[in-house]
Homo-oligomer: A and B are copies of this chain.
Amino acid sequence: MEKAKLRAPFFVVNPKSYLYGEELLRLARKADELAAAYDFDVLFTAQLIDLPRVIDACPHLIPCAQFMESLKPGRGMGHVLPEALAEAGVRATFLNHAENPSGVHELAAVIERANEVGILTVVCADSVEEGRWIAGLKPDVMVCELTGLIGTGTTADEAYMRSSTKAVKAISPTTQVLQAAGISSGEDVYNAIKFGADGTGGTSGIVAAPDPFAALDEMFAALDRARTDFCQEA
């Protein structure tokens, strides 16, 4: 299956395990409206059990798993099968997140499997050095998050964002780079794109905001300004 390249600047809404069920679906519908209104590529992650309803209700989102395995159809009780995700309409997956790290062999294998079934890979590293190394696997998107910043509301600085993006693209020019740790305001979103990221997004900056819908509104408006100012695709 053909994978579409994401149009920069793209956005990722990643509720991790903070939201589920009805509450998750409300946030997904809001993100879907914004994706349509601004014509952005928006990845939306959810618990696997909730993704089918997101897929049904939100045609403008790119449904994204939080984890997938290299498993092939057959045995494998309780593991996550790429073919099952693809047939259900999942189009992207995170891999090697700090809260769910991959094995060396497994990461190489699951990226290969994702390519076979047409699922975009969003692969995490926790330093510039690791980002450079993992870029050798040529994932579709890389995230170089300083693990210590996850959930803090503090973003990496310009130097880190620029050097990690440069390191990844030096090894794999077609890989896009997501800068998302600590993003909690429109200004953070704008700056991430300004500092060279292809995409940005958030978790606690959205789900733990006093008003998550208002947080998304602010972030998408800022992303729109950043698109105008920095992305030739705009």
Contact = CB atoms under 8 A, between A and B. Distances in A.
B66 A20 contact: no
Interface of A: 14, 16-22, 24, 47-53, 65-67, 71-81, 83-85, 87-88, 90, 94, 96-108, 126, 129-130, 132-134, 136-137, 150-151, 171
A67 B77 contact: yes
A18 B72 CA distance: 9
B73 A99 contact: no
A101 B79 CA distance: 11
A1 B101 CA distance: 31
A212 to B, nearest CB: 15
Please indicate which of the listed interface residues A73, A75, A77, A134 has the most CB atoms of chain B within 10 Å of its own CB.
A77
Contacts of A85: 49
Contact of A52 (B24, B49, B71, B100): B49
A150 B77 CA distance: 12
Given A77-B94, A102-B104, A103-B104, 17 more contacts: A17-B81, A18-B74, A18-B75, A21-B88, A48-B48, A48-B80, A49-B80, A49-B90, A52-B52, A66-B78, A75-B150, A77-B98, A77-B100, A78-B94, A101-B103, A101-B105, A104-B107
Contact of A22 (B20, B87, B94, B105): B87
B49 A151 contact: no
Contacts of A79: 17, 66-67, 99-100
A17 B71 contact: yes
A50 B84 contact: yes
Given A49-B51, A103-B101, A21 B77 contact: no
A67 B81 CA distance: 13
Contacts of A78: 65-67, 94, 97, 99-100
Contact of A136 (B49, B136, B150): B136
Nearest to A14: B77
